[in-house]
Amino acid sequence: MGTTSELVARAAALAARGGRGSRCVLGIAGPPGAGKSTLAARLAEALGPDTAVVVPMDGFHLAQAELARLGRADRKGAPDTFDAAGYVALLRRLRGSDGATVYAPAFDRSIEEPIAGSVPVGPDVPLVITEGNYLLHDAGEWAEVRPLLDEAWYLEPQEDLRVRRLVDRHVRHGKDPEYARAWVARSDEPNARLVARGRHRADLVVDHG
């Protein structure tokens, strides 16, 4: 399975299981540059805002000032540069519904910072689509994520295309091309290898070109 229409149908079936008082959570995992946010947005657009909302894991990036304080700014994107416990707490809240709108954070790549309260999830929305690198990671607090997902997909893109996307993304957001290539090799690629170790924990592997 991998065509957009097949994936939309599978997501719609999950949404049909959710409803007021509870909701389903679909997780889309994969290495940096796999196209997770693009696929999540396409699914949400196809299903409509009353059915699905995208909640990105990247909203739980630690702020730049905190990364600098911890000495982790030069490897931003590694598992310990996120608030994993905060992400788990949000997923637990999203799985139920107390009749109130839940506000989730987003990540603004133009300033490289998380923005609190950016994504409203209404009480009647039956499906949350969450996407990020470490949904299938099994170390530390990240291990608590997978049990909170009703279904998890792993995106497996062509490696050369994925790396080009990463470099292009960094350049679009202001990095010099040479610096972008060095950052991808030094930071993104070790993270990609770590992410790939969780592939077997997915319900579905999507060949995503």
Q: Which residues make Cβ contacts (< 8 Å) with residue 94, sequence separation at least 6? A: 23, 25, 55, 102, 104, 121, 128
When divided into structural domains, the chain yields a total of 1
The answer to whether residue 1 scores a pLDDT higher than 60 is no
Q: Give the pLDDT of residue 20.
A: 62
Domain span including residue 200:
4-207
Among the listed residues 5, 25, 8, 17, the one whose alpha carbon sits nearest the alpha carbon of residue 129: 25
What percentage of residues in the chain have a pLDDT greater than 90?
66
* Cα 11 to Cα 48: distance, rounded to the nearest angstrom: 12
pLDDT in tens, 26-59: 999 999 888 899 999 999 999 999 999 999 999 9
Q: What is the pLDDT of residues 127-149, one digit of tens each?
A: 999 999 999 999 999 999 999 99
Per-residue pLDDT tens digits for 53-101: 999 999 999 999 999 999 999 888 899 999 999 999 999 999 987 789 9
What are the C-alpha distances in Å from 140 to residues 73, 108, 188?
20, 26, 20
**CATH number, position 128:** 3.40.50.300
